Structure 1
Amino acid sequence: MNPSRNDLLLFLTIIWLTIPSLIYGQKKSQERPGDSSYAGLIAESEKYFSNKLKTDKIVGLSAAIIMDGRVVWKNGFGFADRERKIPMTVSTVINIGSVTKTFTALSVMQLQDRGMVDIQHPLKRYLPQFHPLTRTAIHLDAVTVKSVLTHTSGIQSDVWKNSDLGSGRYTDVLGFINGTYLLYPAGMVGLYSNAGYNILGHLIKEVTSQDYADYVHRNIFRVLGMSHSGFAMDRLENRTKIYAYGRQAEEYELRDIASGGIYTDINDLARYAMGMLQAYRGESTALLRQASAIEMFSLQNAQVPLETNKKGLGWFMFRNDSTFAVYHAGSAGFTHAKLLLIPKRNAAVIVMTNTAEGGGAAEEFCFNQLPRFGLSIPDLFPPPISGSVHPGQNQVSPPDSLLEKHAGIYAESNSYNVVKVKDHHLTLTNGSTNLLLKPLTDGGFIPYEVKGADTIRLSDQCLFFKNISGSHFLIRQRNKRDYNLGYCLTSTDIGIWAKRTGLYEHFGYQMLIGDSKFKSAELYLSKDGVLMLRLKTMGSTNEIPLDAISPDYALTSGVNSGFGGFNVKFYEDTLYHVLEFAGLSFRMLK
């Protein structure tokens, strides 16, 4: 019989009053002798997490701070198993999700150190079986190992078919990707790709003749003394339970071990952080040559025109003119991990939590430390490539023939913008939003919101049209940052797709995480003639514009956001029209 909410609150109150160490983990922080210079930071950290445990309803959390190359504080808070009252400690093991990608990138760089891989070479040199579909002007040889490391290869974000460890293996991903089109020319767009990192895991297996997990055990965990780290199949002790929305959630073990499969505790993750810092500083080359560590922590994507974050090799970067930090976040089955390294200061911040609601607090804590090291959140974002206009700049009056070059439908991940020429001006419509665009340059415009007879200048932003690699993009610039509003859909005949409109019900493999389970996919034409996909999960509905690139393939629109960056495939069987999205199947009776 389940206790009532009041009973549960009363029980927790009793625990709060009588056994505070269970609520806050270890009673005393792990401050080392001689760390008194960090007493203020340690006290602030203890207070922050103690408060967040209550305000954000976090069940369990662990954290550590490294300063001057050593751990000055580490602690656990709350419960690893709330039902059995097992406290969260620095020895509690958690799935760190996508922080795993930093281990995969490190593995690739180790192989480069040994002369077994050159990241500048095409991926297919090491994986000849890599042969995804391509369109004109997208060349397979341009997909280098480096482009996969930096998420700029054009490889689709994910493939969800057989994505749990019980149904598939990370080496299956290559075959799935071979049945998809590359989305963009390599080096054009930053598109975060779990699939790409699993292909890197496959590369490691192919080059070394060792399974990815075995390689990481031998060449990273063993080298650093990470004896409490491994993968789901290792059945590590002290694994936490996981929680979401106030309840214990079912374990979800990923097939994608090279992009999100590592389990570890704070003690071991701190060893990893110090190992990377030592390699960068040349204090130890047991893990990686110093030159390679410096390369990993150097800006690698400055020339990528459509980017959202600065990146190194396997890491995101905060970077300004005087210093930098590298960062990666991970989430898997409702757990979260955040890892921030400040190499020049020989420092790191690490947070892990077993609760879906804990991700925000974990990230906030890391980002709150940035000013201590001369950095801020805007240092993560690349400078705008769209251009510049000035508030006092005079308007220009380009002829309609030039304005017509910008007219069209610009598709985002969950909507689209209709741009037309009207009365010698450009107008933009998105749902109920109507804008008048007044030109200050050939491609730069100030938007005015149209409300009845009034036009109200949106003074905090400007819009730019820009040609990039043969496509025409619409970009919003706000606070010196670019936001991509989509590319102009080509005027292709979608007649064959129009005959396939209707409601497709999900069948076959299903995602295993609650709200992510898929229900249906409805194909329809909007009032503007845009091919749309209405994708329903158990917890959301998404209206996705499609770019039909062939009689049987379309791409979800949007650049690195929402459900943008996926292949949609159509085929027929005996009884059904079948539609595939990200490897999941939907069907409609003929």
Structure 2
Amino acid sequence: MKKQVIFLVLMLASQVGFSQTFNSIKTETKSVIDSVFNAKIEKKKAVGMSIAIVDNGKIVYSNGYGFSNREKEIKANDQSIYRIGSVTKSFTALSLLKLQEKNKLSVEAPLQKYIPELTIQNDFEQDQNIYIKDILTHTSGLPNDIINGMFAKDLPSNEWIIEALNKQRMASPRNYITSYSNVGYILLGELIERESGVSYEEYINEEIFAPLGMINSSINRQIPVGYLNNEQIQEANVISSIGGINSNVLDMSQFMMMLINKGKYPSGKIAKKSTIHEMEEDRSSKIKLVGDWEGDAYGLAVQEVHFDDKDQSKKEMKMYGHGGDTPTFHADYKYIPELKVGVVVLSNTDRGYVSARSLLLEYLNSEKELNAKLSVVRRDLRQAGVSEIPTESELLGKYSVGTYMVEVDSVERFHLTIGNFTADFEKVNDSLEYVIPQLNQKYRFVKVDNEILVKSVSVYTGREEYVGKKIDDIKMTNSWKSRLGKYEAINAFSSGDAKTFNFSTAKLELKETDGTLQAILQSQTNDALPQPFFVIKGDNSAQEVGIGRNTGTYLMVLENGNLYYNGFEFKRNKSAL
């Protein structure tokens, strides 16, 4: 009977995921940190979250909040598994640099040296090469996404992705702006496979997971449940090299401590010290248009933290990390090598995001009393393009701001209408700064190399980010007017029963809005997607207008008359003819 009771206790312990958390921090620090995450759970903004903090080579605190599986009453803890989404890109970048160490490749080389069948057309440059180092920092000019197959029951092959890209064109010039590109990191995953001789999954397992003891981490296996709109869902697979890793905070702590220790771990070395330095180098200054929020490194974002000492002196240190989001999961890690500290935050809920940066600063301030704050760094002053104030006559015209169109018909005041809401832009000064009083938002117009651009300006910190640009000629043509109507995808990859980002039956509608071509992509699960406007490039091509993420992708007409967009081939509905 006693043996049966022990067995039952062990079974129950495994079901609830019981584990001893690490805790060697002050009681006051623990109380402050726990209150933040417990509040998320209590307000039902998150179902489950886990965190870990590393300091000077060891985990000093870890904990879980809420449930990893609410329906089975399995509590979240430091061993709970989460999808880490685009945090995977840090592993992809490190893998490439490890292969470079072994002279298998050079990040300075063009990608076509290793993938010669990649022939996507570049209308911006005479040099048709796409450089690996630019892909690593999202500055290559490649399109952002190939949505078809990115989340799928059976993922497309990398060969299919390459063929899909070859039907597209480059979205922007090289080193024009940081524009997050998932397809770029898909190509890097293919590069890893070609030069290592094994699959991406095998390489990560053998070269990173196994040495670091990341025994609970995997790629596209045993995907945990997530929560969308307070309902449990199972997400589809995602292409491995852009977001396929599942992990927990303890395993991620080992990865983070290895980076902090410049490639070393207790029993060996993952990479050379020089390799980690190369990975962490901020390369923002090479870019024509630079935003202030963060710098670009290889598979890492770079920010600065400053500390106000008692003697009023200030010291500034670099902070590195990467975030990752899927439809329901959020992941984020940040570390400061100079202090040997770092944190990781994982969540299984669409509304459950808490930044690792805020947790790290809270730890430094509560535990170490360092009075740490995020620095405001004017990276735009380092950009390659020279910025000036446009004339008032240059200001007038039509702009794409995000995925919206704005008509600037008056220098003093203009407006943007979104549904039933109208945002009024009111001029503040002769530097062409504007405020939207209803939203307490601030914008300004700048001219860089004959382009008129829109920047958002934080009313709290003064940080600036590029969010829009002037569009000179965006009028519809008769050839594109003849194609207006509704279309259905004939080559969509199945997402099975996925409750979100399911494009098994993708649809597209082309419409004319205020004289401009607009495309509305619709998923089977009716997800909220951008509805971009297009500038006509020719009888058979049109390009999304705008700047940065979710812009630049081409809409093409194939030889058979079907449309091609984001990897989908669309055939016109017969009812629309």
TM-score by length of 2: 0.82
Deviates more, 1:478-487 or 1:338-347: 478-487
Aligned counterpart in structure 1 of residue 487 of structure 2, from 504, 507, 512: 504
Decide whether aligned partners of structure 1 residues 58 and 542 sit closer, same or farther in structure 2, where only a CA change above 3 A counts: closer
- After superposition, the C-alpha distances for 1:241-279 in whole angstroms (9 at most, x for unaligned) are 32222221023211x100101122222111111111112
C-alpha separation between the residues in 1 aligned to 2:423 and 2:345?
A: 41
Tell me if 1:30 matches 2:22: yes
Tell me if 1:80 matches 2:61: no
C-alpha separation between the residues in 1 aligned to 2:173 and 2:347?
A: 37
- Find the counterpart in structure 2 of residue 481 from structure 1: 463
Decide whether aligned partners of structure 1 residues 510 and 493 sit closer, same or farther in structure 2, where only a CA change above 3 A counts: same
Which structure has more relative contact order (CA 8 Å, sep 6+)? It is: 2
Q: Which amino acid aligns with 1:296?
A: M
Decide whether aligned partners of structure 1 residues 243 and 367 sit closer, same or farther in structure 2, where only a CA change above 3 A counts: farther
C-alpha separation between the residues in 2 aligned to 1:337 and 1:157?
A: 20
Aligned counterpart in structure 2 of residue 408 of structure 1, from 367, 379, 397: 397
- Find the counterpart in structure 2 of residue 5 from structure 1: none
Deviates more, 1:498-507 or 1:176-185: 498-507
Tell me if 1:317 matches 2:302: yes
Q: Which amino acid aligns with 1:570?
A: V
Tell me if 1:288 matches 2:271: yes
Tell me if 1:187 matches 2:175: yes
- After superposition, the C-alpha distances for 1:120-148 in whole angstroms (9 at most, x for unaligned) are 2222222222221111436322x311100
- Find the counterpart in structure 2 of residue 464 from structure 1: 445
- Find the counterpart in structure 1 of residue 534 from structure 2: 546
- Find the counterpart in structure 1 of residue 115 from structure 2: 127
Contact 1:132 1:182 in 2 (8 A): yes
Q: Which stretches in structure 1 are left out of the alignment for 5+ residues? A: 1-20, 390-395, 450-455
> Identity of paired residues, percent?
22
- Find the counterpart in structure 1 of residue 571 from structure 2: 587
Deviates more, 1:530-539 or 1:121-130: 530-539
Q: Which amino acid aligns with 1:524?
A: K
TM-superposed deviation, 1:28: 5.7
C-alpha separation between the residues in 1 aligned to 2:487 and 2:361?
A: 43
Decide whether aligned partners of structure 1 residues 247 and 106 sit closer, same or farther in structure 2, where only a CA change above 3 A counts: same
Aligned pairs for 1:50-199 (under 5 A) are 50-137=38-125, 139-141=127-129, 143-163=130-150, 164=152, 166-199=154-187
- After superposition, the C-alpha distances for 1:7-63 in whole angstroms (9 at most, x for unaligned) are xxxxxxxxxxxxxx99997586322xxx3x544323333333333222234322221
C-alpha separation between the residues in 2 aligned to 1:338 and 1:380?
A: 21
C-alpha separation between the residues in 2 aligned to 1:196 and 1:103?
A: 14
Aligned pairs for 1:133-532 (under 5 A) are 133-137=121-125, 139-141=127-129, 143-163=130-150, 164=152, 166-233=154-221, 235=222, 240-254=224-238, 256-279=239-262, 286-308=269-291, 309-319=294-304, 322-360=316-354, 365-366=359-360, 368-369=362-363, 376-377=373-374, 379=376, 382-383=379-380, 403-420=392-409, 428-431=414-417, 432-433=422-423, 435=425, 440=430, 444-447=431-434, 461=442, 463-468=444-449, 471-479=451-459, 480-491=462-473, 494-495=476-477, 496-505=479-488, 508-509=491-492, 512=495, 513-517=498-502, 520-527=507-514, 529-532=515-518
Q: Which amino acid aligns with 1:241?
A: V
Contact 2:89 2:242 in 1 (8 A): yes
Deviates more, 1:117-126 or 1:535-544: 535-544
C-alpha separation between the residues in 2 aligned to 1:270 and 1:552?
A: 50
SS in 1 for 2:487: strand
TM-superposed deviation, 1:485: 4.1
Decide whether aligned partners of structure 1 residues 434 and 54 sit closer, same or farther in structure 2, where only a CA change above 3 A counts: closer
Decide whether aligned partners of structure 1 residues 482 and 275 sit closer, same or farther in structure 2, where only a CA change above 3 A counts: same
Contact 2:18 2:77 in 1 (8 A): yes
- Find the counterpart in structure 2 of residue 18 from structure 1: none
Aligned counterpart in structure 2 of residue 570 of structure 1, from 534, 557, 560: 557
C-alpha separation between the residues in 2 aligned to 1:481 and 1:341?
A: 22
Decide whether aligned partners of structure 1 residues 379 and 202 sit closer, same or farther in structure 2, where only a CA change above 3 A counts: farther
- After superposition, the C-alpha distances for 1:405-453 in whole angstroms (9 at most, x for unaligned) are 4443222332122234x6xx5764533556576873xxx424488xxxx
C-alpha separation between the residues in 2 aligned to 1:336 and 1:434?
A: 34
Decide whether aligned partners of structure 1 residues 436 and 498 sit closer, same or farther in structure 2, where only a CA change above 3 A counts: farther
Root-mean-square deviation (CA, aligned residues, Å) is 3.5
TM-superposed deviation, 1:579: 3.0
Paired residues, number? 533
C-alpha separation between the residues in 2 aligned to 1:251 and 1:177?
A: 25
- Find the counterpart in structure 1 of residue 519 from structure 2: 533
Contact 1:229 1:262 in 2 (8 A): yes
SS in 1 for 2:520: strand
Decide whether aligned partners of structure 1 residues 249 and 380 sit closer, same or farther in structure 2, where only a CA change above 3 A counts: farther
Q: Which amino acid aligns with 1:483?
A: E
TM-superposed deviation, 1:379: 4.5
TM-superposed deviation, 1:294: 1.6
Contact 1:138 1:184 in 2 (8 A): no
C-alpha separation between the residues in 2 aligned to 1:474 and 1:107?
A: 37
TM-score by length of 1: 0.80
SS in 2 for 1:191: coil
TM-superposed deviation, 1:380: 7.6
TM-superposed deviation, 1:222: 1.9
Decide whether aligned partners of structure 1 residues 459 and 279 sit closer, same or farther in structure 2, where only a CA change above 3 A counts: closer
Decide whether aligned partners of structure 1 residues 362 and 457 sit closer, same or farther in structure 2, where only a CA change above 3 A counts: closer
Q: Which stretches in structure 2 are left out of the alignment for 5+ residues? A: 1-12, 306-314
Contact 1:323 1:374 in 2 (8 A): no
C-alpha separation between the residues in 1 aligned to 2:114 and 2:270?
A: 23
Deviates more, 1:21-30 or 1:425-434: 21-30
Deviates more, 1:427-436 or 1:303-312: 427-436
TM-superposed deviation, 1:282: 9.9
Q: After TM superposition, where is structure 1 displaced by more than 6 Å over at least 4 residues in a row? A: 21-25, 281-285, 385-389, 456-460
Decide whether aligned partners of structure 1 residues 462 and 57 sit closer, same or farther in structure 2, where only a CA change above 3 A counts: closer
Contact 1:58 1:357 in 2 (8 A): yes
